[in-house]
Structure 1
Amino acid sequence: MDFIFIEELRVEANVGIYPRERAAPQTIEINLTFGVPDEAARDDDIAKTIDYADVIGRIRRELEAHHFNLLETLGEFVIALMLDEFKAPWVKISIAKIGVMKGVHRVGVQIERARS
């Protein structure tokens, strides 16, 4: 299996349980790695892989339209999108809120799932 990665994708998202988090979108950082079929590279054919531009666009649109209380729920949502819609066989995501607490650079989650 080959892998595509997207690093330090900054997205405005409605995520959080505290009043200050619910008042306005906040910037989150996503790192995403997902498996793609080996034949994409062998055949040099974009139709046999997952187009990262499509993934980025879809994530941005979905996070703009939804509110998530927990980063864990947001992560599971993106993973389900990758597994079900984009048909990735394996996905790993880390999501971080940036500068949400004094003296803490990032707070986040990391999730890994594979299609069964």
Structure 2
Amino acid sequence: MDFIFIDDMRVDAHVGIFEREKAAPQTLEISLTFGVPDEAAQDDDIDKTIRYDAVIDRIRAELATRHFNLLETLGEYVIGLLLNEFGAPWVKISIAKMGIMKGVRRVGVQIERSR
């Protein structure tokens, strides 16, 4: 299986349980790795792979309009997009809030799912 990765994508999202987190979006750092069909590389055909630009645009659009209490829920939502809408057979995601606590650079979750 071939994979595409997107590292350290910055996206503004409404996520969190505290009032300050509900009042304004915060920047998250998202990294994704997802499986793609082997045929894309064999045929050199963009239509046989998952377009990373479409994935990035879709994630940004979705997160701009939704609120999630938990990073875990946000991660499961993004994984659902990749598995169900884009047809990825396997997805791994890492999502981090940056500078959320004094003396801590990042706090986040990692989730891995397959069909």
TM-score (norm. length: structure 1) = 0.98
Alignment partner of 1:53: what SS?
A: helix
Match of 2:71 in 1: 71
Measured in 2, the distance between the counterparts of 1:28 and 1:101 equals 14
3-state DSSP class of the match of 2:61?
A: helix
TM-score, normalisation: structure 2? 0.99
How large is the RMSD of aligned CA atoms in angstroms?
0.3
Correspondence 1:72-111 to 2 at 5 A = 72-111=72-111
Residues in 1 aligned to 2:37 and 2:23: alpha-carbon distance in whole angstroms:
42
Distance 1:79 1:40 in 2: 21
Alignment of 1:1-116 (within 5 A): 1-115=1-115
Between the aligned partners of 1:22 and 1:50, the Cα distance in structure 2 is 33
- Offset from partner CA, 1:72-113 (integer Å, 9 cap, x none): 000000000000000000000000000000000000000000
For 2:79 and 2:54, the matched residues in 1 are separated by 15
Taking the aligned partners of 2:77 and 2:15, their CA distance within structure 1 comes to: 12
Structure 2: 5+ residue stretches without partners:
none
Runs (4+) of structure 1 moved beyond 2 Å? Answer: none
Identity among equivalent positions (%) equals 75
CA distance in 1, matches of 2:107, 2:21: 14
Count of residue pairs the alignment pairs up? 115
Distance in 1 between the 2:17 and 2:108 partners?
Answer: 14
Whichever residue aligns with residue 29 of structure 2, its letter is E
Letter of the aligned partner of 1:30 in structure 2? I
Deviation at 1:23?
A: 1.1
| Mapped partners of 1:99, 1:19: distance in 2 | 17
